[in-house]
Structure 1
Amino acid sequence: MDTSHAQPPQPAVSIIIPVYNLEQYLDATLESVERQTFTDFEAIVVDDGSKDGTRAVACRHAERDPRIVVVHKENGGVARARETALERARGRYVTFLDGDDLFEPEVLQRLVDEIERSACDVVCCDYKRICPTYEAPVRSGRTGEMSGLEFLEALLCNEVWGGLWGKLYRRSLFDGTIRHYPLRLWQDSAVNIQLFSRNPRVRFIDYVGYGYVQRAGSSNHSRLDFDYCRLYCETVSAELRRRDAELAGRADYFATLSTLRVYLTYFCKSRNPWAGDSDLARNLRRDVARYRREVRRHYSAARLALLDLDRWHALRPLVKLSVTFLRWRKSLERRLSR
């Protein structure tokens, strides 16, 4: 069942909002949409079979604001919810908003102004982490333009945020070749890897326009197991190799960056079991050695040395101590940047 109202022909922006059991957060999220200074949009809320009062909250907002459309479907995960919304989207541009996050009032206006002024294909803004006791802006440190392949390389090294949110895309980028994998983690990155493989023009603006709410129980705080890391790496590597022509024959290099990012994320969580003797780790060390000069542009010698040390189980305590120090330092830097 859909709850909708008469709509003007082709709004400028389609806001895609997948939701599942977010009754406590969705009011604030949709209020931040309704407060936008840019008004030519449609907001497609896909209720992915919620078991709480999420559906009622969404319908209440749709009844009072005709720009909000609510779609109800059986639970199938966020990837399928986004697919459902994209099939219905009519805007020239598409942006994404998680059902527990927030828009700043001018974010749509800033993004639309920039994409139309620059004629780029994607425009990115900065975001802020919203925690129970503090808020902290996270700035990319970038302004101006870069190519899609430059963005892809930066994404695969954690130098830019891989989320779909905080970005405005031309809707034409989401054609039938984009696959929305029903992954437990990093679904956004899997989509962006495909999009930026096409080498669109990307623009950054110096504006904190998105509020990323940190909450216990979200997928980003779920346990990270090695089998899932391996599945994700295999999925992304296959996608990159499928697009080797678009990547100018550099799919193997990008796949190495992707696997390195995921493996470092895994073993830098010091409580995870050691996996330094796995096929993934052995092949990764081989590939990093093959591309060492290029990889060194993105990773310090100290971090790559940890990857080498991780091959020996006896050195696991040293690796754990080192990554704990790096994690504390990163946390301190984040808090000092508030």
Structure 2
Amino acid sequence: MAEVSMIVPVYQVEKYIAQCIESVLNQTFQDFELILIDDGSKDQSGRICDLYAAKDDRILVIHTENRGAAAARNVGLDHASGRYITFLDGDDYLDEHMIARLYEEIVDSEYDMVVCDFLNLLPDEEDNFIVHLQEKTVNGREVLEHLKNERNYGLWTIVWNKIYKREVLENLRFPDGKYFEDEFFSNQLYLNSNQIHVIPDVLCYHRVLASSTMNTQKIENYLDLLDALQERLDIYFKYDYSEDEIYKVLIFLLDPFTKCVRAKFSGTNKKRVEQTRRFIKIVSRRLMGKNLSFVKKSSLVIIGLFPDLMYRIAIRFRSQLEKFL
């Protein structure tokens, strides 16, 4: 049994998967298993994985039909044997000390997970950036209620810049068949988490490709994001989270909602949009009874009646509105 299980969904990344695998094999920490889930790739990605597995018995390759990253990660979780779990995307790669540093912080500690900084590699190298984390310890509620709502480049939603105690993920799985699967997963993850330690080390290199999933989302995929954000709002009400944070998430919801309204869906998709419209109206009414500023309460009247119109107005006058909201 390995100390650390590294789970990597692999799909159509023949250009990058070798570097990804090599970055794991070259870790200074060597007590790991590498689980590669070939998610029905039609290029040479699966074959490349098999070639590496033939040379190193710490590598397990599982070939599946194409079902998406969520299903692939779930397959990896079902096969993982390590005391600690990490994730990596097939087109990303690690600093050689990543597993060692994260393991050093989490082993024999009270932390449920440890989080590190990462470098975003964009198509134009001049646009590359890191988040600039500060070392600190937080709890799951603080992350879900506050930190996820700050500008953080997805830091608290992504799964591949963290190491997790196995017990934290024991009863968690990614929602099969959903887009924005990390949003759903993180909702439950932080409800299950106590102490979380953050270190400033830049240990992961994440490629933001022009062809990446986030950059090529179909409009109908945003219907799943609507569901994930509604789930988060339900959690906020259930656990009596801050009304100002509830308001923030409601505002976040207006962006994908407006995209879906403009798409003029029919059938089931149209019903999902209308269900979200009703949900927005209900949340707006509930927030009206909370301790919010006069400006926010006034905006809720318009949001409840005309949510997509309110969003278009807000975008047009964003710089002025931010001073008040």
Residue number in structure 2 paired with 1:214: 208
Other structure's SS at 1:278 match: helix
Alignment of 1:115-264 (within 5 A): 115-116=106-107, 118-134=109-125, 136-139=128-131, 141-160=133-152, 161=155, 162-176=157-171, 178-223=172-217, 225=219, 228-234=221-227, 237-238=230-231, 249-250=239-240, 256=246, 259-260=249-250, 262-264=252-254
Q: Secondary structure at the match of 2:91?
A: coil
The one-letter code sitting in structure 1 at the alignment partner of 2:176 is P
> CA deviation digits over 1:7-27, x for unaligned, max 9?
xxx211100001111111211
- CA–CA separation in structure 1 for the residues paired with 2:177 and 2:248: 16
> Unaligned regions of 5+ residues in structure 2, if any?
265-272, 321-325
Name the counterpart of 1:60. Answer: 51
Structure 1 letter corresponding to 2:72:
A
Q: Tell me the C-alpha RMSD between the 2 structures.
A: 3.8
Q: Is 1:286 the equivalent of 2:285?
A: yes
2:86 matches 1:87: no
Distance 1:75 1:151, change over 3 A: same
1:266 pairs, out of 256, 265, 274, with 256
Determine if contact 2:8/2:88 at 8 Å carries over to the other structure.
Answer: yes
Are the aligned partners of 1:156 and 1:261 in contact in 2 as well (CA < 8 Å)? Answer: no
Per-residue CA deviations over 1:29-70 (Å, capped at 9, x if unaligned) read 112112211111111000011111111111122122322211
Say if 1:233 and 1:258, in contact at 8 Å, map to a contact too.
no
Deviations 1:60-113 (A, max 9, x none): 221223222111112222111111111110111001001111111111111001
Residue 29 of structure 1 corresponds to which residue in structure 2? 20
CA distance in 1, matches of 2:252, 2:11: 26
- Post-superposition shift, 1:196? 1.0
Give the match for residue 4 of structure 1: none
Unpaired runs of at least 5, structure 1: 1-9, 327-338
Contact 1:157 1:261 in 2 (8 A): no
Deviation at 1:131, TM superposition (A): 1.5
* Aligned counterparts of 1:262 and 1:180: Cα–Cα separation in 2: 22
Give the deviation of 1:121 after TM superposition: 0.8
Between the aligned partners of 1:256 and 1:172, the Cα distance in structure 2 is 29
- Residues 1:291 and 1:19: Cα distance change in structure 2 (over 3 Å): farther
With over 3 angstroms needed to count, the CA separation of the structure-2 counterparts of 1:85 and 1:264, relative to structure 1, is same
Greater displacement, 306-315 / 166-175: 306-315
Q: Which moved more, 1:200-209 or 1:252-261?
A: 252-261
Cα deviation, residue 292, structure 1: 5.7
Equivalent-residue separation in structure 1 for 2:211 and 2:24 (angstroms): 24
2-side partners of 1:228 and 1:93: how far apart? 32
Q: CA deviation at 1:314?
A: 6.9
Matched AA of 2:227: E
Deviation at 1:223, TM superposition (A): 3.5
Query: Is the 2:5–2:32 contact (alpha carbons within 8 Å) kept by the matching residues of 1?
Result: yes
Percent of pairs identical after alignment?
27
Structure 2 CA distance for aligned equivalents of residues 43 and 23 of structure 1? 17
SS across alignment from 1:220: helix
Matched residue SS, 2:201? strand
* CA deviation vs aligned residue, 1:227-254 (integer Å, no higher than 9, x gap): 654544435645885x79xx97337969
- 1:121 partner amino acid: D
Distance 1:192 1:16 in 2: 17
1:256 and 1:287 in contact (8 A); partners too: no
Q: What residue in structure 1 maps to residue 268 of structure 2? A: none
Please list the CA deviations of residues 195-240 of structure 1 after superposition, one character each: whole Å capped at 9, or x if unmatched. 2102321000011111110112221112363x65454443564588
TM-score of the superposed pair, with normalisation by structure 2: 0.78
Contact 2:70 2:178 in 1 (8 A): no
